[in-house]
Structure 1
Amino acid sequence: MKGDFHVRICERLKLKYFGLLDPSNESPACSNTQSLHVILKNHKNYYIKHLKLLFSVSILTLFFSCKKEFNTSPQPAPSIDPSLTFLEKSVSDIYSNSSFYIKGEFNGHKLSFATIGQVGSYFVDTFSNAFYVYYDKVKKDSITSDNLYLIRQNSNQSIMIALFCGQTHIKNSVFPYKLPHPNLQQCEFTEFQFINNNHNYNIGQNSPQDNYTFVGHTGFGMNLIFNKLTGDNIVEGVFEGVLKTNTGSIINVKNGKLRVKFVTVEKLQDKN
């Protein structure tokens, strides 16, 4: 009996410690086993009920926290650079693989500049498409420098592309001749110009406001490879890269290809 009494006392202390025993119900009746079972049953039902409620609230909180928020307000239209809209209206020439041309993809627009021999245009393979060789006036057999100009317009002369190649020594080069390469001479580079001829002529070319001349250089955003030079001065090559105006407009160039015939022009030049 004494042992049973100690057990009942311990059970009551545990219930009271864990808050399962209501002080108002402390009476001799609570000391018997049946009363303790009733108390435990009541508290068990109470906590199960609240645990179910807590579980439901947790599920709802998780659902709403994972729900994506969609912005249904009107979104601004993507900005369009007005200095680039001319590309959509530019005429692309028809050409054959055996003709003379410069072509490529310019911001995704496939454009070809092909030779058709219009009077007054850059299509004619004359001085505008020439290999200029400069000789020393004193030592006339000594070459001081050379420049290769490759220029084309499209059929309605609305756009033009030009390559100004310095110190290529194209007649003595080993092909493929790549620009840039690790052992460049002084002034050995090519400048690319892509020009919108339908521009505001009140804006000077190369001025800070020039938004129609897209420029790039080998070694600084442009790559050029001359693959072949025939005996009658037909040069073939490929190019790609980025062209940019002084105002920040950009043309990305892909799959550029050229086949141009040029003339050779020899000139005397002071070495100094």
Structure 2
Amino acid sequence: MPEDAETGKGGPALRGDCESCFGLCCVALPFAASADFAVNKPAGKPCTNLQTDFRCGIHTRLRKQGFPGCTVYDCFGAGQKVSQVTFGGQDWRQAPDTAQQMFDVFPVMRQLHELLWYLNEALALPAARPVHADVRRLLDETEALTRRDSASLLEVDVPGHRQKVNVLLLRTSELVRAKTGRKTKNHRGADLMGARLKRADLRGANLRGAYLIAADLSGADLRMADLIGADFRDADLSGADLTGSIFLTQPQINAAKGDAATKLPPALTRPPHWTPSATAATRS
């Protein structure tokens, strides 16, 4: 499990805690009417389902009501950091003059928290020990950025910082995948939409940024594969083995289909919308 940047162990700081957030993902972010969202909503406007207590009025019925995109999203703990730390627990309804700045800060914080997730994972991987000192330095630097005031956060060069982090994540990936002891497959950025990869041996594969939308990965072996940024929307992961895969996140898993036989890394949880048999559900 990725080590938590604030508690020193896997914990809530890098996981969304809606109880401590002012519904920022339901207000700050835009969405368009599509298969993921039932309606259009511009950035900065509260979703019509957001209640006065900042809870979702249809939380248990999101998929049935046409909002599956909401069940996929995770802020990596950015929502509560902005709400309780950056703005000191004062919500945008109490202080409407700060609302726009809060909404602008949220996506910046979300990106930084996602980087913290990856860096913590790299630090927890024994194979990446040769770069752990550099990872720790960059982790501390990233955490320091998240502690800035709102005006300073908006000045952060997120793409530049992400590039620095990516250099270390690439090196981490090489070290981990080398442990397979064999030549691994390179599918970085590959278009594998709808690909038939049932029971494929993808151990140690480089699948960074690969498009695996609606791919059949049922029963596939993805151990030690680099899955950072891979698009798993509607991919069939039933019976797949993802234990030991690296840089896989909860939103990626939430976007996929899986079942009780899907093996996940310990830091991730099985989505409640997964069926006992994803393949059977797909064919029905």
Pairwise TM-score range, normalised by the shorter structure: under 0.3
Give the TM-score normalised by structure 1. 0.22
Q: Which one has the bigger helix percentage?
A: 2
Give the TM-score normalised by structure 2. 0.21
